[in-house]
Amino acid sequence: MASQEVPKTCKVILADTIAKKLLGEVREQLVKVQGANGARPALAAFLANDDPAAAQYAEWSKKTCEENGFDFDLRKVDKEVLEEAIVTANQDDAVDGIIVYYPIWPTNQQQDRYIQETVALSKDVEGLCHTHLFNMYHNVRFLDPPTNQKKSILPCTPLAIVKALEHLQIYNPILAYGNRLFGKTITVINRSEVNGRPLAALLANDGATVYSVDITGVQVFTRGSGIRALRHQVLDKEGWGLKDVLPLSDVVIGGVPTEKFKVPTELIRDGAVCINFSSYRNFDGPAVKEKASIYVPSIGKVTIAVLLRNLVRLIANRKPEGNSEQ
């Protein structure tokens, strides 16, 4: 009798696979919002740093925009005149959305935060201005309650990871919308204000227990016992580290921006889902495939698809009837 081949333990899912489905939805939604003969939406992108990863992201964004019916205008500017350039774009009716590539001042987050607030609410495709962030952290999903026609914008990379988790069926569609991660334990290794902390909040607001890890330690984001709270709460886990949280985690998400860091494979539980959103590989690829059930080595192209999704939502929000689509 011929021996049966043992199936591979780990399924590797590429960002392209997830992005293609999202881009199809984006094109359909754009036609609904603007009609079949509507003008091509215009995205202005500001590059004021020398980060090769940002330049690569801009190239991918340009290609994806042009392939899907959007105009992409990359504006390379000196950081000292960036504020004025953004104000000009805010006032330009030909510009539908604005993206800025961060960090601009790597050692001064306050200056980056100031630039985030310079982008007009109606053109903030990244969802990084105060109104959008306030809504996200407080689990408020609309800009115009109680009418609830204009959806708030969520940050692109955190939302891309949410969309990846939906694609991987980590979200449970049987549960009520907003509770579909109940029972899941997720570790996010990154607590930056742009990516890691918003991601932890989004996942916790959807019902997960989220361990947020950075160099200062571990915090747990949760809606409490039985997810009875309307929004997440944050508690410090004194003395905890990766050794404590990884063995508990159904999903491990790496976003550490250095090639020196690797998630300790031996601490990952058998059958966990592992997702990397850093521009560096936070996981040892061959080793993690022996442990994980699903491995997503990068997320960048999903982030670009979400960027366009957000841009269509901004256009819909400017229309009198707003936008009630999810």
| Tens digits of residue pLDDT in 67-115 | 999 999 999 999 999 999 999 999 999 999 999 998 899 888 899 999 9
Examine the pLDDT at 322 and tell me if it is beyond 80: no
CA distance 284 to 125: 33
* pLDDT number for residue 206: 96
Tell me whether residue 136 is in a domain: no
Q: Are residues 122 and 177 in the same domain?
A: no
Q: Are residues 236 and 192 in the same domain?
A: yes
Q: Judging by beta carbons within 10 Å of its beta carbon (0-12, 13-18, 19+), is residue 132 exposed, middle or buried? A: buried
**Which residue among the candidates 10, 65, 129, 156 is catalytic per the annotation?**
156
Q: Is residue 53 very low, low, confident or very high in pLDDT (cuts 50, 70, 90)?
A: confident
Find out whether 115 and 82 touch, Cβ atoms under 8 Å.
Answer: yes
Q: Are residues 166 and 107 in the same domain?
A: no
Helices (H) and strands (E) in the chain, counts: 10, 11
Tell me whether residue 171 is in a domain: yes
Q: Are residues 100 and 218 in the same domain?
A: no
Tell me whether residue 6 is in a domain: no
Q: Who contacts 4 (Cβ-Cβ below 8 Å, separation ≥6)? A: none
Examine the pLDDT at 152 and tell me if it is beyond 90: yes
For the chain, percent of residues with pLDDT exceeding 70: 96
What is the tens place of the pLDDT at every residue in 224-268?
A: 999 999 999 999 999 999 999 999 999 999 999 999 999 999 999
Of 71-85, 121-135, 233-247, 309-323, which range is least confident? 309-323
Length reported for the chain? 326
Of 54-63, 89-98, 176-185, 317-326, which range is least confident? 317-326
How many domains, in total, are found in the chain? 2
Q: Who contacts 123 (Cβ-Cβ below 8 Å, separation ≥6)? A: 89, 90, 95, 96, 97, 98, 314
Q: Is residue 3 very low, low, confident or very high in pLDDT (cuts 50, 70, 90)?
A: low
Q: Are residues 51 and 100 in the same domain?
A: yes
CA distance 88 to 20: 33
* pLDDT number for residue 34: 85
Tell me whether residue 93 is in a domain: yes
156 is known as an active-site residue: yes
* Structural domain containing residue 45: 39-128
CATH number at residue 163: 3.40.50.720
Q: Are residues 76 and 171 in the same domain?
A: no
CA distance 122 to 284: 41
Cis peptide before 155 (omega within 30 of 0): no
Tell me whether residue 240 is in a domain: yes
Q: Are residues 188 and 98 in the same domain?
A: no
**Considering Cα of 102, then 302, then 217, then 180, what sign does the dihedral take?**
positive
Q: Are residues 161 and 296 in the same domain?
A: yes
End-to-end CA distance of the chain: 53
Could you tell me the two tokens for 42? 């215009």
Could you tell me the two tokens for 217? 């330690």
* pLDDT number for residue 39: 86
* pLDDT number for residue 2: 55
Section 110-126 average pLDDT: 95
Q: Is residue 43 very low, low, confident or very high in pLDDT (cuts 50, 70, 90)?
A: very high
Of 28-32, 281-285, 319-323, which range is least confident? 319-323
How would you classify the pairing of strands 217-222 and 209-214?
antiparallel
Tell me whether residue 134 is in a domain: no
Tell me whether residue 177 is in a domain: yes
DSSP string across 91-127: T-TT--EEEE-S-SSTT-HHHHHHHHHHS-GGGBTT-
Tell me whether residue 138 is in a domain: no
Examine the pLDDT at 325 and tell me if it is beyond 50: no
Q: Are residues 192 and 290 in the same domain?
A: yes
What is the tens place of the pLDDT at every residue in 186-201?
A: 999 999 988 999 999 9
Residue after which a domain boundary falls, among 84, 109, 128: 128
Q: Are residues 179 and 123 in the same domain?
A: no
Q: Are residues 59 and 105 in the same domain?
A: yes
CA distance 98 to 38: 20
Q: Is residue 324 very low, low, confident or very high in pLDDT (cuts 50, 70, 90)?
A: very low
Find out whether 79 and 49 touch, Cβ atoms under 8 Å.
Answer: yes
> Structure pTM?
0.92
Q: Are residues 251 and 163 in the same domain?
A: yes
CATH number at residue 119: 3.40.50.10860
